[in-house]
Structure 1
Amino acid sequence: MPRDTLTRDQIVHTAVELLDAEGLEGLNMRTLGKRLGSAATAVYWHVTNKDNLVLLAADHVWRELILPDPNPAGWRTAAATMATDLYRMFTRHPWLVQAFTAHVLYGEGKSRHDDRSLAVYEAAGFTCDQADQAAAAVFTYVLGNAAGAAATASLTRKLTAGGATAEKHLQDAMSQAQEIAMRYPRLRTRLQTPAATDYAAAPDQTFEFGLQALLDGLERQLSSADHNHGVPKLTDPR
């Protein structure tokens, strides 16, 4: 594709597809150019460098998110909807979790999401600072859970590229992990149950369980404030 027929939107859309397939480590201008049917040099007429491309791709996928209306009566439903949708977005695009460790991510899409998240908690009754804390707590919880999916995606790519040798290394590592785990009573009990699959697997609905527990805590803060005719007090972990 000649330089003058390329658009930034085409480049970013194709970059997202490449990132979904190959992760951050698989993104380079030469591979992207091949997918676009263009020389790598033509891409540089529209994006500054790889870091700029990651930033644009990240902001593109942030625009996929659902943004419910803030509603004092339904703030918890709105918060859960946003958190669940964010988690699904991270698992659709696991490279984005990786990007948080190496890039400062910003843009219209992310700002639009962050602003609505704060609006949900402010509508619930939290003060400005407390809404910041609540939104950050939920976001950190979601990102931490999505890290598992990102790690699985990265491992899958390595296994695919490494073939039988990589698969054997994984099986050996899992066998050693289970052997160590069997020395501990609670882990041994879980590994010996009929429903057990592998040592590293998380129980079903773990994300939903933790999210509801986190929102329970935030709701209790609001209920306590209403009872005392004050504002909710979020405990400083320090």
Structure 2
Amino acid sequence: MRLISSIAYKWALAVADRFNANHDWKRFYYYWIRLILGTLFKMTIIFGIAYLLDVFLPTFYCAVTYGFVKLISGGMHYRSFGRSILLSVMLFITMGVVADTFNYIYKPFDDTLTKGPFIYSWVMFIFSMVCAITFVPVKVKHKVKLWGFRKILYKVLTIAFIGYAMYYSLGLLNSPNVEEVINVYMPGVISVWTAVAFELAASIPFIYYGVTRLNQILNYK
């Protein structure tokens, strides 16, 4: 958004003048100020909509997990801030609704934990692991420094996280306190695996291409 960019530019100039910084530092300040302000603005919109739809908590879990997995897997990014907001709202709200729906389905009425959450976790784990081994990280057209090393690092970090997440999830779901599992652990586990699967699905070539085309359509003027 132009307003965010304008504010970030003015703040970057102020900071640069304060420290007598050169042009490269001005660009550095501008980039990070714009990123922080943009992220805060974007997440405010997303969580506001999630709150109105009564899916705030699963959306929050999904957003945090998605952002982390995107970071360690070298996930796709969007150059236009405006497009990022629109696509992020669509994505995170969808994840929040999906996670909340499955949590409702699996939440037993007799306070006895069903196998649903375990099945959901295992399915998402297998799908995510296949994506991590086969497609992570997404291919980039522009040159990236040390790309060969980064590709290996992204893949190793992603596989390690998926493995640890599954180990931790099973530990939570097997907790002896059934009531705590149902009301606390299960919503978090389902949300985490929903976010992991959604993020890594974007590394599949035809899905990546589809999202890229949608990105272009939304930005069409």
Fold match by TM threshold 0.5:
no
When normalised by structure 2's length, the TM-score is 0.31
TM-score by length of 1: 0.30
Higher helix share: 2
Q: Computing the radius of gyration over CA atoms, which structure comes out larger, 1 or 2?
A: 1
Higher normalized contact order (CA 8 Å, seq sep 6+, divided by chain length): 2
